Amino acid sequence: MGKRKAFIAPGLLVLSISLFFMSRAKTFGELLIFNFMEGFGLATYHPVGTTLITESFSDKGNAMGIHGSGGNAGMLFFPFCAGMLTEYLSWRNALLILSPVGILFALAFFLFFKEVQGKGEQYEKVHMPHLFLLIATLMCVNMVLRGFVTFYPLILSETHTAAFIGTTIALFNGIGIISQFVGGRIAGKPHVGKILSLSLLLLPPLIMGLVWTESIILAVVLLLSFGFFIYIVYPVLFLIFSSALPEKSRATGMGIFFSMGIGGSALSPLVLGSLSGSVGLRSSFFFLALVSLLGSIVISLYFPLRKK
């Protein structure tokens, strides 16, 4: 078994088994432990998976975009299913039903995936401080995304059912199928830096519009726009960062990259939870708007400095 394959298949198994035990948790403490295990299993995939893509395909940008689109296809399907299952069964049964899916994928990956050895190709040398700008951008994007998908459903829950909320989040993730593919296509274009900066700059008004609008039609338009502009950033960031690392340390570097990004994801709910208690739920989304603006500024600094 390839060394990277040895990480992905067991990680999927840990994820699936954790879902099963979460469905059987009897205390909040047990739920936290099994949720931690779920996160551990999930975290093993992306650093290794993006490294495999970088080393296996000549058209890396297109491959990264298609890979991201596949992830969003799953996020389109599963929130809808989870919302429906929770609405008509229970959250425990929803987790119990979803658990075997990961086991099947782990088995399929173990049996049918053939790992390709790296070709020792050249990489783009980038100074370490410049890589920190990419890490900071990823942290900002992850903070905005995690904060939104965690707390926006709370706003929707004031007037809507779990099935409606699941459908809404599925719609938000579904537009990422298109935007991640587009992001992969533009990853190597000369003006990609301006596109990323503009995409993040458009997020603040979209976020605040979503939080305060009472029009369903306007909310749908804003939701699709927000999903498109935030998801388009990911394949570009992943490709730029992985291409700046030598092959022998690429998997480790991507692991650090994703770990820092997950740190941003973990911090966002804590900050929003604290702010919502002091200034109100809707007003707390101003924090996400400010983080989006910060991400736009940071990524706009990276590309001019890289050329020097």
- Return the pLDDT at 3: 57
Q: Residue 247 has what DSSP assignment? A: G
Q: How many domains does the chain have?
A: 1
Phi–psi pair at 113, nearest 5 degrees:
-80, 130
pLDDT digits (tens, 9 = 90+) for 91-135: 788 888 878 888 888 888 777 777 665 555 544 555 667 788 889
pLDDT at 81: 74
Put simply, whether the predicted model's pTM sits higher than 0.85 gets the answer no
* 36 within a domain of the structure (yes/no): yes
Q: Give domain status of residue 289, yes or no.
A: yes
Q: Nearest Cα to 59, choosing from 229, 179, 186, 170?
A: 186
Q: Which CATH number covers residue 290?
A: 1.20.1250.20
Kindly state whether residue 199 falls inside one of the protein's structural domains. yes
Q: Is position 107 within any domain?
A: yes
Q: What range defines the domain where residue 226 resides?
A: 5-112+122-306
Question: Between the CA of residue 186 and those of 61, 103, 138, 299, what are the distances in Å?
Answer: 8, 34, 18, 16
- Conformation bin of residue 123: beta by default, left when phi > 0, alpha when psi is -120 to 50: beta
pLDDT score, position 1: 43
pLDDT (tens digit per residue) in 204-240: 999 999 999 988 899 999 999 999 999 999 998 888 8
Backbone angles phi, psi at 57, to 5 degrees: -125, 140
Query: Please, are residues 49 and 8 in contact by the beta-carbon 8 Å criterion?
Result: yes
**Residue at 117 is within a domain:** no
HSE at residue 206, side-chain half, CA atoms within 13 A, is: 23
**Residue 272, domain member (yes or no):** yes
Q: Considering the domain boundaries, does residue 76 fall inside one? A: yes
Using left for φ > 0, alpha for ψ between -120 and 50, and beta otherwise, residue 221 falls in alpha
Q: Tell me how far the alpha carbon of residue 233 is from its chain's centroid.
A: 10
Q: Is residue 270 part of a domain?
A: yes
